[in-house]
Structure 1
Amino acid sequence: MKLYKLLSLSFLLATLTSCTFTENIYINDNGTGKFSVDMDGSALMEMAGDQIGNQMGANAKKDIDSTFTFKQLFAEKKDSIAKLSPDVQKELKKLENFVVTTKMSSEKKQFLMTMATDFKNVNELQDILQTASSLQKLEGGANANPLGSGFGDNKSKLSYTYDGKKFTRKAVIDQQKLAAKAKDSAADMSKMIFASSNYIVKYHFPKKIKKVSNPNALFSDDRKSITIQYTFTDYMENPDKLNFDVEFEK
């Protein structure tokens, strides 16, 4: 299946029902690690997998187990990218090393998608989710973001810091963009679509955690991992609610 066709199919599924989005960060002793966002839309396949297969044709009836990089996608769209401004091209380049994996089966009632990349330092992840919204600027790219149109575009600047003693996740809201979004009728549609979706963060560290500023954090047995669940509405409308600090034992 062509990459763009697969992305369009995934986008349509992602916007038809509630999904669970999970943001994962794994940090090693030396500060390197892996970042990923997982989307689980299996609830839709459970409810209407057969009907979706019928509506979308033969390809959707078959099980999909696909992996590609954005670098491959950009190679397909190189002529379109060449027409974009240098700033947008620079933004897209940040996504080159992301690997996108899709698993979909109407028989197994499964629809899973993961966007993942390695990093040398968490600082490299500055605004990485917001960068994904730049995919819409590709020619015919309205559905190019595999996690759904507008995902990551929650009108904030997101940053991560880690120095071995403390980890911080911080989103700073852009008030001007937020005001413009409030006037956008499409925002009401997005709010309705994701009203029952969840956004979960799962972070894994090389050291034991002393404390977390969010009281809802759940610890793993070894106290090296935390899980915090939010509503997707908070992620989109109140991204600063997802801010927190983690302090580690000496």
Structure 2
Amino acid sequence: MKKIYVLSVCILLLLLSSCKFSETIHIREDGSGDMSFSFDGSQLMQMGADSMGETADVVLDSTIIFKDYLDAKKDSIATLSKAEQKQLKALENFKMHMLMDPNTKKMVIDINTEFKDVDELEDMYKILSKANELNDKGSAKTSPAGNMGVAEGTEVHYTYKKNVFKRSVKVTDRELLEATKDSLGDSEMILAASTYTLNYHFPKKIKSVSLKNAMFSEDHKSFTAELNFKDYVTNPESLSVEVILED
């Protein structure tokens, strides 16, 4: 459980410092592929060991396979509500790699999964929040990510049909979103200094992308777009993307 505890501390610290978030998707010809979500909080490590609290002397380089963890905790998980069990089951296909080294000033967290169809993908930030909610009893607890209001009140869906890929963001609770925006306070400056980068790779050449700042690869089969993380919180629908591929 030390890994889960350190993860919780890492996420909280990441959210208290400007950092880099990235979402990467590779799609193959048959529609299958892989997805990863990364946090780079190395800037925080460069601020000094004192800001790391209990994790100041911790060197961590490990991988968590959530299926193995959930199998080990299956008896405890069986006592949870059906809704909570369903949420935790969504973690089964995910792996997480954590690197936190005060000596090299690196702090990186990567979550990745493979999929048979793009429709299987969920909002990766919510997956991360679910991971952070795990404790030694297999039950849920308050997430630092959730406390920041990031992605709360929204749903993200992915589709890939007839040469059209879509990342669709829908606000499901407008009141919650407005409350989040009103309560940002000092966090607004932190979020404005952070970035959210999309890295999408396709099996065909890209005809068009709805994002104006998209940078294409030489073969025109992939693109990168860097966005302001504040927009993810205050205007999540701005991260909706439509990509049209050539026939």
Give, as a single letter, the amino acid of the residue that structure 2 aligns with 1:218.
M
CA distance in 1 between counterparts of 2:231 and 2:28 reads 29
Shift of 1:79: 5.0
Runs of 5+ consecutive residues of structure 2 not aligned to the other structure: none
Contact 1:154–1:237 (8 Å) recurs in 2: no
User: Given the alignment of the two structures, is residue 92 of structure 1 paired with residue 88 of structure 2, yes or no?
Assistant: yes
Contact 2:122–2:156 (8 Å) recurs in 1: yes
Shift of 1:196: 1.7
Task: Tell me which of 178, 184, 188 is aligned to 2:184.
Answer: 188
User: Given the alignment of the two structures, is residue 51 of structure 1 paired with residue 50 of structure 2, yes or no?
Assistant: yes
Shift of 1:187: 4.4
- Number of the residue aligned with 1:31: 31
Going from structure 1 to structure 2, the CA distance change for 1:129 and 1:106 (only over 3 Å counts) comes to closer
Shift of 1:73: 3.6
Give, as a single letter, the amino acid of the residue that structure 1 aligns with 2:50.
Q
TM-score of the pair, normalised by structure 1: 0.84
Contact 2:149–2:180 (8 Å) recurs in 1: no
Going from structure 1 to structure 2, the CA distance change for 1:185 and 1:121 (only over 3 Å counts) comes to closer
Contact 2:181–2:233 (8 Å) recurs in 1: no
Helix, strand or coil at the partner of 1:47: coil
Helix, strand or coil at the partner of 1:51: helix
- Number of the residue aligned with 1:166: 164
Q: Which moved more, 1:229-238 or 1:178-187?
A: 178-187
CA RMSD of aligned residues (A): 2.7
CA distance in 2 between counterparts of 1:96 and 1:76 reads 12
Shift of 1:148: 7.2
Helix, strand or coil at the partner of 2:192: coil
- Number of the residue aligned with 2:77: 81
Going from structure 1 to structure 2, the CA distance change for 1:12 and 1:245 (only over 3 Å counts) comes to closer
Going from structure 1 to structure 2, the CA distance change for 1:11 and 1:241 (only over 3 Å counts) comes to same
Task: Tell me which of 207, 212, 235 is aligned to 1:210.
Answer: 207
Contact 1:156–1:172 (8 Å) recurs in 2: yes
Task: Tell me which of 62, 66, 78 is aligned to 1:66.
Answer: 62
Q: Which residues in structure 2 correspond to 1:151-162 (within 5 Å)?
A: 153-162=151-160
Q: Which moved more, 1:99-108 or 1:150-159?
A: 150-159
Shift of 1:134: 4.1
Shift of 1:185: 9.3
- Number of the residue aligned with 1:222: 219
Instruction: Provide, for residues 172-222 of structure 1, a one-character-per-residue CA deviation record: whole Å limited to 9, x for no partner.
Output: 111xx2313433699426545433211111001111111112211110111
Q: Which residues in structure 2 correspond to 1:98-109 (within 5 Å)?
A: 98-109=94-105
Give, as a single letter, the amino acid of the residue that structure 2 aligns with 1:18.
S
Give, as a single letter, the amino acid of the residue that structure 2 aligns with 1:70.
F
CA distance in 2 between counterparts of 1:228 and 1:184 reads 25
Shift of 1:232: 1.0
Q: Give the % identical residues.
A: 38
Q: Which moved more, 1:9-18 or 1:92-101?
A: 9-18
Shift of 1:98: 0.8
Size of the aligned set, in residue pairs, is 242
Runs of 5+ consecutive residues of structure 1 not aligned to the other structure: none
Going from structure 1 to structure 2, the CA distance change for 1:41 and 1:5 (only over 3 Å counts) comes to same
Contact 1:42–1:112 (8 Å) recurs in 2: yes
CA distance in 2 between counterparts of 1:22 and 1:232 reads 10
Going from structure 1 to structure 2, the CA distance change for 1:17 and 1:148 (only over 3 Å counts) comes to farther
Helix, strand or coil at the partner of 1:30: coil
Shift of 1:152: 5.8
Give, as a single letter, the amino acid of the residue that structure 2 aligns with 1:9.
V
Give, as a single letter, the amino acid of the residue that structure 1 aligns with 2:41.
G
Instruction: Provide, for residues 63-101 of structure 1, a one-character-per-residue CA deviation record: whole Å limited to 9, x for no partner.
Output: 211101222443455455333321221122111121110
Give, as a single letter, the amino acid of the residue that structure 2 aligns with 1:197.
S
Shift of 1:6: 2.2
Give, as a single letter, the amino acid of the residue that structure 2 aligns with 1:211.
S
Going from structure 1 to structure 2, the CA distance change for 1:2 and 1:186 (only over 3 Å counts) comes to farther
